[in-house]
Amino acid sequence: VYTRKRSEFGRPCSFSDRPAKVNVDIPPDPSMASDFVLRNPVDSYVQHTSDMSEHEVNTERVEVESRGVNHVEGGWPKDINPQEVEQTIRFRKKVEKDEHYINTITHLGTLMEHCVKQNNAINIYEEYFGEEEVAEVEDEPPSAKTINVIRDPNITKRTATHLSWHPDTCKKLAVAYSSLEFQQNTKDMSFDSYIWDLENPNKPELVLKPSSPLVSLEYNPKDSHVLVGGCYNGQMAYWDTRKGGLPVEVSTVEVSHRDPVYGAIWLQSKTGTECFSASTDGQVLWWDIRKLSEPTETLVLDVTRKGLLENALGAVTLEFEPTMPTKFMVGTEQGIVIACNRKAKTPPEKITSTYSGHHGPVYALARNPFYPKIFLTVGDWTARIWSEETKESSIMWTKYHLSYLTDGCWSTVRPAVFFTTRSDGTLDVWDFLFKQNDPSLSLKVCDEPLSSLRLQDNGCVVGCGSKLGTVTLLEISSGLCTLQRNEKTLATAV
């Protein structure tokens, strides 16, 4: 500890001169020279340039916001009170008498009249030549390019588990974020899910604040303001985007699922308020969102048809086709796909058939929009195509990949094309009319595993969500999304 008396502070230093003194003297040691060899010739470079150093600079992103201006009243001169009608009338009359005003207005009036008449005479946007014949489709190699990347704005990144496009505009995307790792929820992980507007990928358009992270999220196809979400704790919640980010209603905990709700889909009904959900606790519940306090119907996924919850298989994915409103399919954790009929009289009869073929959970289940009897399942390391009639095995399957497949869906415009995502961050596009052993296009989207996939209704843009919450939007080349002339006939033949 260094101490010093206060009175001794500020004293002048007294320096003194001293002659040079040798402190250390190390003589060379010739014996060490044997460790070294003389180098001859020596390489040396000479360059007549000045030394430069390289630095990177990136400006901070400026937050820009668009705001409107509401003009209420013009810039009246100081002596005129705009509320006084007489004064304003007098001012106007004064201006109208001004010579300059008269000249200007006559001149501008002629200009304006010319344009007004022009508008009335021809319609400049008229289509003069009818739709020209579409040129022959070139055999270009299929490709896709990233058009947008949307990142999770939180610091702790969560997986983008489900994507849902806005039903009408296709410019908005609702993404559900949650962490599906068992007990990995850190305290500061936020529960929010976002609705993004593609015009503004930096800031979410709406923040949805559930009481527990959302695992699945779907827009109502009939009413584009309403969304239903399935939570990590098994509850169901629904939002109205006109009312803000808090759920309008949440189902009661006692009657909801006991495991994360992996699938939630809207049903076709006259009121447009019915939906159903499935979870790994083995139940499929039907809800009416006007009354979320209890489900309208339940079904236990027991393959032995006894309705026992202990035997039930956990559901991982749900599928519903609006054209066949009474039938739906569930993909389970055990690798079995169960086809069910909602309108069956007794609960055991509700389960019509099962298809087993996967070794692991069936992560995605989709019917072909053109041929509803054909459906696609994605699970373990393969994707399989099934026909409803053949119950023994799938009619077509892909080879075993190195990484397991996480999600898949059919193309909405071409009956023979489907997409799959893998856990090594690759998106595969398969065209089984063209090549049946390999994907026709394989794209590395990102380094982390891809967790969800959703195709826009027009078939050109596909959104993939990854484990770190990044949603990448890709536009696929027109060769993969325009219908070929004989494709439908060829696909039926298959």
Partner 1 sequence: MSLKRSSVQYTPSYITLLCLLCNREKAEVEETLKRIQAHKGVIATIVVNAEGIPIRTTLDNSTTVQYAGLLHQLIMKARSTVRDIDPQNDLTFLRIRSKKHEIMVAPDKEYLLIVIQNPCE
From 27-35, 113-121, 276-284, 288-296, give the range in contact with partner 1 by CB under 8 A.
Answer: 113-121
What the block records as the tokens of 140 is 């270009």
Per-position x/- string for 285-304, each x denoting binding to partner 1 as judged by CB under 8 A, each - no binding: --------------------
**115 belongs to the binding site for partner 1 (CB under 8 A):** yes
Site for partner 1 in 201-240 (CB under 8 A): none
What the block records as the tokens of 328 is 């739906």
Please pick, from the candidates 2, 36, 45, 125, the single residue that binds partner 1 as defined by CB under 8 A: 125
Q: How far is the CB of 171 from partner 1 (least distance, A)?
A: 17
Q: Which residue, 112 or 246, is less far from partner 1 as judged by CB?
A: 112
User: How far is the C-alpha of 8 from the C-alpha of 366, rounded, in Å?
Assistant: 88
Q: Which residue, 13 or 115, is less far from partner 1 as judged by CB?
A: 115
Give buried/exposed letters for 1-24 (b at 16+ CB in 10 A, else e).
eeeeeeeeeeeeeeeeeeeeeeee
From 111-119, 140-148, 158-166, 442-450, give the range in contact with partner 1 by CB under 8 A.
Answer: 111-119
Q: How far is the CB of 242 from partner 1 (least distance, A)?
A: 23
User: How far is the C-alpha of 381 from the C-alpha of 383, rounded, in Å?
Assistant: 7
**16 belongs to the binding site for partner 1 (CB under 8 A):** no
Q: 455 has which bridge partners?
A: 462
Please pick, from the candidates 81, 84, 109, 169, the single residue that binds partner 1 as defined by CB under 8 A: 109
- Beta strand 336-341 with 351-356 is antiparallel
Which residues are CB-contacts of 20 (< 8 A; sequence separation ≥ 6)?
none
User: How far is the C-alpha of 150 from the C-alpha of 169, rounded, in Å?
Assistant: 18
Per-position x/- string for 65-94, each x denoting binding to partner 1 as judged by CB under 8 A, each - no binding: ----xxxxxxxxx-------------xx--
**61 belongs to the binding site for partner 1 (CB under 8 A):** no
How far, in Å, are 75, 89, 125 from residue 94 at the CA level? 16, 9, 42
Q: How far is the CB of 79 from partner 1 (least distance, A)?
A: 13
What the block records as the tokens of 473 is 């939007």
User: C-alpha angle 230/234/235, rounded to 5°?
Assistant: 65
User: How far is the C-alpha of 295 from the C-alpha of 289, rounded, in Å?
Assistant: 9
Q: CA Rg, the chain, in Å? A: 35
Please pick, from the candidates 33, 102, 309, 483, the single residue that binds partner 1 as defined by CB under 8 A: 102
Q: Which of 337, 385, 391, 327 is nearest to 361 (CA)?
A: 337
Instruction: Identify the three-state secondary structure at position 99.
Output: helix
**119 belongs to the binding site for partner 1 (CB under 8 A):** yes
Which amino acid is it at 308? L
Please pick, from the candidates 105, 137, 147, 395, the single residue that binds partner 1 as defined by CB under 8 A: 105
Which amino acid is it at 42? V
Q: Which residue, 96 or 438, is less far from partner 1 as judged by CB?
A: 96
Site for partner 1 in 27-46 (CB under 8 A): none
Q: Which residue, 25 or 127, is less far from partner 1 as judged by CB?
A: 127
Q: Is the peptide bond before 41 cis (omega within 30 degrees of 0)?
A: yes
**108 belongs to the binding site for partner 1 (CB under 8 A):** yes
Q: Which residue, 2 or 129, is less far from partner 1 as judged by CB?
A: 129
From 110-118, 139-147, 353-361, 481-489, give the range in contact with partner 1 by CB under 8 A.
Answer: 110-118
User: How far is the C-alpha of 305 from the C-alpha of 347, rounded, in Å?
Assistant: 8
Q: Which residue, 28 or 74, is less far from partner 1 as judged by CB?
A: 74
From 43-51, 115-123, 225-233, 440-448, give the range in contact with partner 1 by CB under 8 A.
Answer: 115-123
Contact set with partner 1 (CB under 8 A)? 69-77, 91-92, 95-97, 99-102, 104-113, 115-117, 119-120, 123, 125-126
